[in-house]
Structure 1
Amino acid sequence: MAVLTEKALIQIRRDLHAMPELALKEVRTSAYLEKVVAGFNQQYLQVRHIDELPTALLVRVAGSHPKRTLGYRTDIDALPVSEKTGLPFASKNPGVMHACGHDIHMTVALGVLSYFSEHQPSDNMIFFFQPAEESENGGKLAYELGVFEGQWRPDEFYGLHDNPDLPAGAIGARMGTLFAGTTEVNIDLTGQGGHAAYPQDANDMVVAAAQLIGQVQTIISRSIDPIEGGVITLGKMEAGTIRNVIAGHAHIEGTIRGLTQVMIKKIDQRLKDVGDGIARSFNCDVKVALNQGGYLPVENNPALTKRFITYMKSNPDVEFVETKPAMTGEDFGYLLSKIPGTMFWLGVDDDSQLHSATLNPKESSIEKGINAITGFLESRMSE
């Protein structure tokens, strides 16, 4: 179904892979995407830029007999990872790499768009080439700027993430949550420093922090339904200056992950409760700062996801895999909290994992993904 040939798609992927850029700095990437889109049949297309989010690109496809507007989103940013693949088209931007496979995401999106530029869809379509997925929550930024209003508001939103653990070109999906939501945790404990020989005249924040860390471990094990699950990881702690001085301050950083927003809010509250308890117990000041931003759980819409899975299972050309939820984060969850839709996996069959310096997705997944997605969207429009 792809209008762009497989050879052209692979070249696009390699071009994009060689020019990775970090969140909100995707200047060359955005220009390249627009250049490719400019080569498509423009009869049904309308391109839009956002002054306040200059690396974002939106393309509207006018439907012939629209009953709805279908949205398709791809992320365009890369990660601060030094590539170690040894590929001839490896990153030319030192210290930056498409280690999450967004080059595959973009190429698939361009393939789907190229198809509908030649085969006018019956419904309207919005393609959102989104900056800043890895950080800075670009989906939330775009939504809060009022981008998705009027003729630019999808009734349904779809998007994919590549998966090295699935066969190349396979489609993976599940009812419910695909990705966890994530919250950044910053905790500051402030007491009174002093001489190690006179603990009675000080208020030791190393001891207070140790107690807090121990109590935090009970939140998941004793406050959260084990069937639902959640994660708190406190990955960094700083306190003290020298061995014989009692620390008057400690700083802790970590992350919370949960499969539903309700679960995340519950974990958030329990963490605050623990902080309040430590403050009272140790007569110190404990500040718990939580920042979720746009990284909400990717909670797939039940009706739309059921329709998506039914189509993929019934298509003999699609290898469908029902997947488990993942504790990794994705800011498409924010858009799905505002607009119903579905996120799914595209298998890329690689021994290296996402965010790895050696990630090298199978390029044979690209055309298979495009065909599966265009087939589903056309099926959806026929209803």
Structure 2
Amino acid sequence: MRRAIELAALGLGSTSPNPVVGCVILDASGERVGEGYHQRAGGPHAEVHALRAAGEQARGGTALVTLEPCNHTGRTGPCVQALIDAGITRVVYAVGDPNPTATGGAGRLRDAGVEVASGLLEDEAAAGNTAWLTSVRTSRPYVTWKYAATLDGRIAAADRTSRWITSAGSRADVHRLRAEADAVVVGSGTARTDDPHLAVRGIDGATQPLRVVVDTNATAVRPGARVLDDAARTLVAVAADLGPDATAHLPAVLRVKRAATGLDIPALLAALYDDGVRSVLLEGGPTLAGAFVAAGAVDRIVGYLAPVLLGAGPAALTDAGITTITEALRLDVTETVRIGPDLRVTAVPLPTAPVTPASKEH
């Protein structure tokens, strides 16, 4: 199963809106005879790749799969039927499928006389598929907020210069994050200041993510902007009430209702979800990041901290709706990694404790 989890990770960034899945086939004597992973949406699932590799040796064998085999026909047939037809007699999966259109695979396998077990390395497999699992359960994309800052939390100097705070190694690692995401999102401030490209570079075979610029009034992305080239698909998210003349210079727009300031973040994420996006890498500046945090729409934070001090300049996060220490968003640090001179810190928000009503005095 641990090998199946490793295989599943190879599909990150290229399977959306499907999950990443890995599969290992053992023959009747317990020897590994086939393995595979879901490589792209619309293509064969992990079980089919592994069964093809195993051939007749799969008959009487065991399939170990990171996710409960699917029980529906979409662009491909149900994996449960492929396992039954191949003569598999035992299936072990790590995580149950929460997707209501695909679940039920375990029951169908049992009805066909296949022994089924679940929960093996469930936490590890779920962690590898956390973006998809979150999106299924919440009907919005899983959001990773990435930022680079000095050790004192500045993303630029007082004169707004910022290239380069972190090392080349950290910047290369960001491209790995982009390659694993379905969409990369920035705001109008970043579009004006940096004219970012947002495409993946330096990773062979990477699927380019959708590039999204949140440009409420359609004034930041101008003709000739790097994000409008043909390296990847681009959407410019604008206010739904803008007239057609205001967006005539943009090749593709996503209209989203306004909030008190900027665009409504839940509505933006819902629109991206409807477009097939299941994971978002938020690379926007402090204002857009603050809007996402205030909306409760950040699932993971990846901060690249450089051993540099500036003492002044913009902070990594502003206007997050936090006004007092008791409202602070507390985090669980899940990983710290040295990348050259820098430190990459990964954290997730801690669950919010329920508010206990004050007891009445009698």
Which TM class, normalised by the smaller chain length? under 0.3
User: Structure with the greater relative contact order (CA < 8 A, sep ≥ 6): 1 or 2?
Assistant: 1
If each structure's helix is expressed as a fraction of its own residues, which one has the higher value? 1
| TM-score (structure 1 length as normaliser) | 0.24
| TM-score (structure 2 length as normaliser) | 0.25
